[in-house]
A = this chain, B = another copy of it.
Amino acid sequence: MSPVTGPRPGGRSARIQQAVHASTRKLLAERERADITVPMIAADAGVTPSTIYRRWGDITEVFADVAIERLRPETPPRETGSVRGDLVAWAQEYLEEMSSPVCRAALRDIVMSGDMGRPDNGTNQYKCAAFCRSQINTILERDAQFSGAPGAVEGVIDHVVAPIVYRILFDQDPLAEDRIGALVDSALDTVVHA
Contact = CB atoms under 8 A, between A and B. Distances in A.
This chain's copy number in the assembly: 2
A125 B117 CA distance: 21
Contacts of A122: 172
Contact of A159 (B117, B169, B172, B186): B186
A101 B126 contact: no
Interface string A91-128: 00000000001001100101110011100001001101
Interface residues of A, number: 37
Contacts of A170: 110-111, 125-126, 128-129, 165
Contact of A161 (B112, B166, B189): B166
Contacts of A166: 129, 157-158, 161-162, 165-166
A48 interface: no
Interface in A118-172: 122, 125-126, 128-129, 157-159, 161-163, 165-167, 169-172
A189 to B, nearest CB: 8
Contact of A104 (B58, B112, B117, B167): B117
